[in-house]
Amino acid sequence: MNRLRRAMFFSLFPAVALAGPPTEAPKSAPANKPAAASSPAVAAASAPALEETYAILKDGRRVPLFDDASATVPVAKVDNDVITMRDLTDALASVHQSHGADARAGKRDFSPVLERLVDARLLVVEARDMGIADLPEHKEAMKAFEDSAAREMLQALATKDAKADPAVAKQLYEDAVREWKVKSLLVTETADAKALSGQKTASAFDSAAAKLVANKKAKGSLAGEFLPRAKLLPEILATLEGMKVGTVSPPIKLKDGYAVLRVEDVRYPEDAKARAQAEGQARSLAMSAALKAYYAGLVKRYATIDEKLLKKLDFEAKKPGIDALAKDKRVIASIKGAKPVTVADVTAELQGSYFHGVENATKEKKANRDKMKVFDGLLSRRIIPLEVQRLGLRDTPEFKRKVAAFENQALFSRFIEKAIIPEMKLGEPEVKKYYDEHQKEFMYPAFYKLESLAFSNVKQAQAAIEKLRSGTDFKWLNANADGQLKPSERKANVEGVIVETAMPKELVESLANVKKGDYRLYAAGENQFYAIHVLEVTPPTPQAFDEVKESLGQRVFGEAVGAAIKDWAGKLRKARDVQIYLTRIGS
């Protein structure tokens, strides 16, 4: 199945991506006092968003929503596959993030979210029974994910204490926001540019520059202005970054001559966004350093490297040649607890890394350059699993939850791929039918060409409209009517060509059913009243089918998949044991 389809059906059931591991439902679970949120994402997105803090279960227990101890409490069950409180809170967080503040009314009603979780889990359970979990492609995907998840957990462990260096963050911030106050001239002749560049004092530079400008041998400003890096040509920026206050640049060759710059001052404006980015970059650098040091420690713990052999290994030499190296079993790195890395291993990895073959890479002198990267990749893939095993990361609840969540998502998607999509018969006729039935949704908006008079008093605006309707010339009234707002006082845009979708709701309502030549009153707020003259009206026009059929096809497909999922889930509910333990969410 192509990527588009995969993305579309994931979007139908976003909560399934966060569905947790299947567990047996416990007979009871304690209602603990509120503590830390079950995950940073939930703490940030859900807890503040939901006014309610407790889940009320059928047995009367009140369970804190965002308590770690509540994470495994069952809220529903499909056969023996449990949907936990963590699954629900993660899904609620996902819904809130997708819909924002407009979802407030739906936050009290958890049932649609829980119903989607149940529907998705029904398909997951069915997929297991169909043997989809035993398919080679599923097992390969699971193996790849488990390896990736283990690496990520090890990386998080290695970098958890890394902190941004304040000095580095400060330097990155200053580099990002620095502005130079520059006197700059564009000089026509090389000799003049060199002579100006040699003027070291401010007075000498100003005097020489003024003469060049007076003699029309240069253009520029001697007033000096602060310039951010965004406004500077690359060659100018490169020069300024190496200059100090009070220095003059050498001539910089540009298209129309030579630029000569004198730095008068440097400043660093406050920019909260840039400061946050600098701190983030400094944190990333600290994490990279920590990870590099941690990996070096792993290499020292597990591997013994033949540095001489690695250094002299030449993949570009005619002798012994690639074919011979591909059979070379000499050990470059012996590893405690894993297979050694041999010359043949590195050769095979190199051969597989070039699309056009290793022969072209040797001709282009790439193979020797890339050998260290290839060797490090091989080495890391063998020693990282050893460290993961030593630390027992695959046995942790966090790892098991990640793997179970991914498997639920993978089984859900493969069920749709194998059981639902092959049965769908969608083509252009179905898309065209949908277009015909929903044509009002595929319209270009109306456009209005307007002119207006603005008043601070509604009676004056109404009087102006009456005069205009009685035949008073608009331009004359604009020039003579009392009480008009100054252009700078007008808060609404009611001039020129305006598209309806860019208008405030009140203006759209004021212009309902207008025709060319009509006059309307528009109240845009306190002391803002507009007498509007409609010069032109372009009504909404339908979009041609060919213009929308591609995006419309995606919508039709998505709706069809969603309907099929609901249909399948409805049938499976009759065949499976579905239990809902949650009655309501309350404070």
Model pLDDT for residues 225-240, shown as the tens digit of each residue: 899 998 999 999 999 9
Average of pLDDT values for 200-219?
Answer: 94
Kindly report the average pLDDT of the chain as a whole number. Answer: 87
How many Å apart are CA 104 and CA 51, to the nearest integer? Answer: 9
Per-residue pLDDT at 3: 38
User: Residue 365: pLDDT above 90?
Assistant: no
> What are the Cα distances from residue 118, in Å, to 16, 108, 407, 408, 577?
9, 18, 16, 12, 11
Q: Return the closest-CA partner of residue 334 out of 360, 310, 359, 367.
A: 310
369 vs 355: CA distance, rounded Å: 16
Residue 36's contacts (CB-CB under 8 Å, 6 or more residues apart) are 43, 66, 67, 68
Percent of the chain whose pLDDT exceeds 90? 73
Stretch (H or E) spanning 258: strand 257-267
**Token digits for 519?**
């006059």
Least confident of 133-137, 407-411, 421-425: 421-425
Q: What is the pLDDT of residue 10?
A: 40
Rounded to a whole number, what is the largest CA-CA distance in the chain?
101
> CA triplet 160, 163, 169: central angle to 5 degrees?
145
What pLDDT, on a 0 to 100 scale, did the predictor assign at position 52?
52
Q: What's phi and psi for 337, nearest 5 deg?
A: 95, 5
The answer to whether 336 and 390 are in contact (CB under 8 A) is no
Angle between helices 343-353 and 367-391 (to 10 degrees): 110
* The pLDDT of residue 424: 86
Cα-Cα-Cα-Cα dihedral sign, residues 59, 60, 65, 70: negative
Q: Is pTM, for the whole model, over 0.75?
A: no
Q: In whole angstroms, give the CA distance from residue 414 to residue 416.
A: 5
Q: Which stretch of DSSP H or E encloses residue 465?
A: helix 458-469
Tokens of 493: 């845009």
| CB-neighbour burial class of residue 26 (10 A; exposed 0-12, middle 13-18, buried 19+) | exposed
Q: What are residue 258's phi and psi, to 5 degrees?
A: -125, 130
Mean pLDDT of 72-80: 95
Q: What's the N-to-C CA distance of the chain in angstroms?
A: 45
E-assigned strand segments in 50-114: 54-57, 62-64, 74-78, 81-84
pLDDT tens, residue by residue, 457-506 = 999 999 999 999 999 999 999 999 999 999 889 989 899 999 999 999 99
Asked if 1-133+403-442+549-587 and 179-267 have one fold, the answer is: no
The pLDDT of residue 94 is 78
| Spatial separation of the C-alpha atoms in residues 74 and 81, rounded to whole Å | 10
Q: How confident is the model at residue 258 (pLDDT cuts 50, 70, 90)?
A: very high
User: Is the bond preceding residue 320 a cis peptide, omega within 30 degrees?
Assistant: yes
| Rounded Cα–Cα distance for residues 374 and 341 (Å) | 11
pLDDT in tens, 330-364: 999 999 999 999 999 999 998 888 766 666 667 66
Q: What is the C-alpha separation between 112 and 496, in angstroms, rounded?
A: 46
Domain definitions of the chain by residue range: 1-133+403-442+549-587, 179-267, 306-390, 443-542
Using pLDDT thresholds of 50, 70 and 90, give the confidence band for residue 192: very high
Q: What is the rounded CA–CA span in Å between residue 176 and residue 259?
A: 23
Q: What CATH number does domain 443-542 carry, 3.30.110.30, 2.60.120.590, 3.60.70.12, 3.10.50.40?
A: 3.10.50.40
CATH among 3.30.930.10, 3.30.230.10, 3.30.420.40, 3.10.50.40 for 179-267: 3.10.50.40
CA angle 141, 142, 148 (to 5 degrees): 90
Backbone angles phi, psi at 267, to 5 degrees: -140, 165
Instruction: Give 136-191 as a DSSP string.
Output: HHHHHHHHHHHHHHHHHHHHHHHHTT----HHHHHHHHHHHH-EEEEEEEEESSHH
Q: Is 88 exposed, middle or buried (0-12, 13-18, 19+ CB in 10 A)?
A: buried
pLDDT at 27 over 50: no
Residue 5 — very low, low, confident or very high, per pLDDT cuts 50/70/90?
very low
What are the distances in angstroms from CA 452 to CA 319, 457, 470, 527, 536? 86, 15, 16, 15, 13
* pLDDT tens profile 522-562: 999 889 999 999 999 999 999 999 999 899 999 999 999 99
As a whole number of angstroms, the distance between CA 79 and CA 573 comes to: 10
Q: What is the pLDDT of residue 98?
A: 58
Region 382-411: mean pLDDT is 96
Angle between helix 3-12 and helix 545-575 axes, rounded to 10 deg: 60
Question: Under CATH, which architecture does the 1-133+403-442+549-587 domain have?
Answer: Orthogonal Bundle (1.10)
CA dihedral 457, 462, 467, 471 (to 10 degrees): 130
Is 519 within 8 Å of 474 (Cβ atoms)?
no
Residues 6+ apart with CB under 8 A from 355: none
